[in-house]
A and B are shown apart, each in its own frame.
Chain A
Amino acid sequence: MSAPRSFDDLFTSSAPWWKGEGPHADMVLSTRIRLARNLSEVPFTHRARDEQLQGVLSSVTGAAQGSELLAGGLLLKMQDCSAVERQVLVERHLVSHELGDGARPRGIYVAPDDRVSIMINEEDHLRLQSLTPGFQLAEAWALADRTDDDLDQSLEYAFSDEIGYLTACPTNAGTGLRASVLIHLPALVLLEEIQRVLKSIMQVGLNVRGLYGEHSEIMGNLFQISNQTTLGRGERDSIESLERVTRQIIETEERARDRMLRDARTQLEDKVWRAYGTLRFCRSIQAKEVINLCSAVRLGVAMGLSGLPPLRVVNELLVLTQPAHLQRQAGAEMSPAERNVYRAQVVRERLTAAADGPGTDPR
C-alpha cells in the first residue's frame, strides 16, 4: 500500500499480516521482531521529564525522516489521538497497552513500508518492530536489523560493550530482542496435547503468551511464542532457536490435524460449518466468541474445505470486530450490548461479501 498520511488512512488500510500470505500462513498468522533501544543521554521513559520525552519524540522522528527506509512515514502522537483511536492502534498490535494510555509525550511512527513501526517512549525510548505475514523470521529480522542500523546513523543508543543495549528493565538488556510468532494450534488443543507442548516449549527457554501479549487471555487457540532471554546469545542464535522450535510445533500440529481428520472427519467438518453458520447469521455476538468461532473456520480453510471465506477475511475479522474498531467504524461510542449487535452486522456483511454470489443475508 502507499504510505499512510493520517490516522484515517491507517484505519481504512489493511495491516500487512491480514493478507494471509507467507509460508505456513494457514497456521502462523504473523511473525514479529521487536528491538528495545534507548538514547544514552536521556533518563529512561519513566524517569524522564515530559520535555525530555518531547525531545526523544523529535529526535527519533527526525532520525526516521532522515533515513532512506523510514522517510515519509506517519507519526501519531498519543496525546493527539482520542481514547478510541489509541485503542484501535492497540487492537492492531501497533501499540502496546502501556503506550496506549496517552498520558505522556508518546507516539508511534509507522514507516511507509507498513511492516515496520517504532513505538516512541514506551517502557524504552524506542521499541522498533517489524511484522510480517506468515512464518518469516529471517525476513522480519532483516527488516528490523536494517531499520535499526539506519536509525543508529543519527541516534546515540545507550550501549555498553559488556551488557549490550541498555534497557529500563534488565529482562530486556543485551540484544533487546523479542522475536515471536503468532500460531494457531486448534488440533493440539482439541486433542488435549497442548499442555505437554507448552511445557516443552518453556523448558527450552521460550515463552508462550496469548493474542494480546503479556498476561493476555488465550483465545481462539492462538498462541504467541517468543524468546525469553536477551543476554548471552546473539540475535541470530535466538531467532534460529525460535525457528527450530516453531517448525517442530508446526509438524506436531500437522500430525494432530491428520489424526483428527482420519478419526473424526465428520465431527470436525460439523464443528467448522456450525461455526461458520453462527458467524454468518448471528444477530448479537461478543468479540471473544468471534475469535473462537474464527478459529474453527480457519481450521476449515486449512483443511481445504471449499465454500469458506479466504484467510484474509478470517484475519480481518479478528481485528475489525474488536471494540475500538467497531466504535471508530460506527463513529460513536457504544455500550457493550450495542457493540454486540453492530459486531454481528459487521461479521455478516464481511462474510456475505466474501461468499460466492450476491448477498444472501436475510434481514
Chain B
Amino acid sequence: MLCQICGKNPATVHFTEIHDNKMSEIHVCERCAEEKGMHTPAQQHKFEIADLLAGMVDAMTQTDEERVGHVQCPRCGLLYSSFKETGRLGCAECYTAFQFQLRPLLRRIHGDTRHRGKAPVRGTSENGTRQIQRLHDELQRAVEREEFERAASIRDDIRKLEAERHAAGPGGRP
C-alpha cells in the first residue's frame, strides 16, 4: 500500500484514530507522518478521510493548479476544482473529462488503475472478451492455489464462452 498523502513511498505508519469515539484509519509513510506531526497523538487535529482525499488531490495538482482547476466536464459542467473540494464527481462522463488528473489519484487510492472485476452483461461487444480475460485471470489464480477442480470448471466456462463468441461472429452481441 502506498502512502495516502504523497502516494510515492510505501505506507509504513498506520493510524487508527478514535475521535469522540469515531474511528478512522490512515496509512502514511514516515516522512509524511513526520510532516503532518502525526507522531504526537496529543497534538493531532481531527483528520477525516474526506480531508485526506482532498489533500491527496492537492498534492497532485499543486504545480499546475490554475490550469487543471478550470478543466470542466462537458456533460454535467462540473469543474475539476469543485471535485477537489467535495471529493465527488458529477457524472459518468467526468471520468473521461478528468482522466489525466484521476489516473494518478486512482493509483494512490487503490494502488491500481485498471478494472479487473465483472462487467455488465448488456452493452458493448467487448464484454465477451473482457469476461474471458477475467476467467483467464481466475484460472491462473486457481492453478497457483492448486485448486484444480475449480480450475477445470473455469476452463470449461472459457471454452463455452469462446464457442458462443465464435458463433455470434464479429461484433458479438447486438
Interface residues of A (CB under 8 A from B): 38, 40, 42-44, 46-47, 123, 145, 148-149, 152-153, 156-166, 168-171, 173-175, 177, 195, 198-199, 202-203, 205, 207-210, 214-218, 229-237
Report whether A231 and B27 are in contact in the complex, using a CB–CB cutoff of 8 Å.
Answer: no
> Ordered nearest first, which 9 A-B pairs have the shortest CB separation?
A232-B112, A164-B115, A158-B92, A231-B110, A175-B117, A217-B21, A215-B22, A229-B110, A43-B91
Report whether B117 and A177 are in contact in the complex, using a CB–CB cutoff of 8 Å.
Answer: yes
Enumerate chain A residues within 8 angstroms of B141, measured Cβ to Cβ: 237
Q: Among residues 41 to 98 in chain B, which have CB atoms less than 8 Å away from a CB atom of chain A?
A: 48-49, 53, 75-76, 78, 86-92, 95-96
* B112 nearest CB neighbor, chain A only: A232
From the candidates A44, A149, A165, A173, name the one contacting B90 in the complex (CB within 8 A).
A44
- Shortest A140–chain B CB gap in Å is 15
Contact (A215, B115) CB under 8 Å given A44-B88, A160-B95, A208-B16? no
Report whether B14 and A203 are in contact in the complex, using a CB–CB cutoff of 8 Å.
Answer: yes
Please count how many residues in chain B sit with their CB below 8 Å of the partner chain's CB atoms. Answer: 50
Report whether B23 and A210 are in contact in the complex, using a CB–CB cutoff of 8 Å.
Answer: yes
- Shortest B30–chain A CB gap in Å is 15
Contact (A171, B113) CB under 8 Å given A43-B91, A44-B88, A47-B90? no
Cα separation A348 to B22 with both chains bound (whole Å): 30
Enumerate chain A residues within 8 angstroms of B6, measured Cβ to Cβ: none
Report whether A163 and B95 are in contact in the complex, using a CB–CB cutoff of 8 Å.
Answer: yes
* A199 nearest CB neighbor, chain B only: B14
* A38 nearest CB neighbor, chain B only: B92
Report whether A202 and B22 are in contact in the complex, using a CB–CB cutoff of 8 Å.
Answer: no
From the candidates A162, A215, A230, name the one contacting B23 in the complex (CB within 8 A).
A215
Cα separation A164 to B118 with both chains bound (whole Å): 8
Enumerate chain A residues within 8 angstroms of B130, measured Cβ to Cβ: 161
Contact (A231, B21) CB under 8 Å given A43-B76, A161-B119, A175-B118? no
Report whether B122 and A231 are in contact in the complex, using a CB–CB cutoff of 8 Å.
Answer: no
Residue of B109, B111, B119 with highest tally of chain A CB at under 10 A: B109
Cα separation A157 to B119 with both chains bound (whole Å): 10
Report whether A232 and B114 are in contact in the complex, using a CB–CB cutoff of 8 Å.
Answer: yes
Enumerate chain A residues within 8 angstroms of B167, measured Cβ to Cβ: none
Report whether A161 and B115 are in contact in the complex, using a CB–CB cutoff of 8 Å.
Answer: yes
Contact (A232, B111) CB under 8 Å given A166-B95, A202-B14, A217-B22? yes
Interface residues of B (CB under 8 A from A): 1, 14, 16, 18, 21-25, 27, 48-49, 53, 75-76, 78, 86-92, 95-96, 102, 105-106, 109-124, 126, 130, 134, 137-138, 141
Residue of B18, B122, B134 with highest tally of chain A CB at under 10 A: B122
* B90 nearest CB neighbor, chain A only: A47
Name 9 A/B residue pairs within 8 A (Cβ), A-sorted: A44-B88, A44-B89, A44-B91, A160-B96, A170-B102, A174-B115, A203-B14, A214-B49, A231-B109
- Shortest A227–chain B CB gap in Å is 11
Cα separation A198 to B24 with both chains bound (whole Å): 12
Known: A215-B48, A218-B23. 17 other contacts (CB 8 A): A44-B89, A47-B76, A153-B121, A158-B91, A159-B119, A159-B120, A160-B115, A161-B119, A165-B117, A170-B105, A173-B95, A195-B16, A203-B14, A208-B16, A210-B23, A231-B109, A235-B118
Contact (A234, B16) CB under 8 Å given A170-B89, A170-B102, A210-B23? no
Report whether A171 and B92 are in contact in the complex, using a CB–CB cutoff of 8 Å.
Answer: no
- Shortest A257–chain B CB gap in Å is 23
Enumerate chain A residues within 8 angstroms of B120, measured Cβ to Cβ: 152, 157, 159
* A46 nearest CB neighbor, chain B only: B88
Enumerate chain A residues within 8 angstroms of B113, measured Cβ to Cβ: 162-163, 231-232
Cα separation A175 to B76 with both chains bound (whole Å): 23
Report whether B90 and A162 are in contact in the complex, using a CB–CB cutoff of 8 Å.
Answer: no
Report whether B21 and A40 are in contact in the complex, using a CB–CB cutoff of 8 Å.
Answer: no
Cα separation A198 to B134 with both chains bound (whole Å): 32
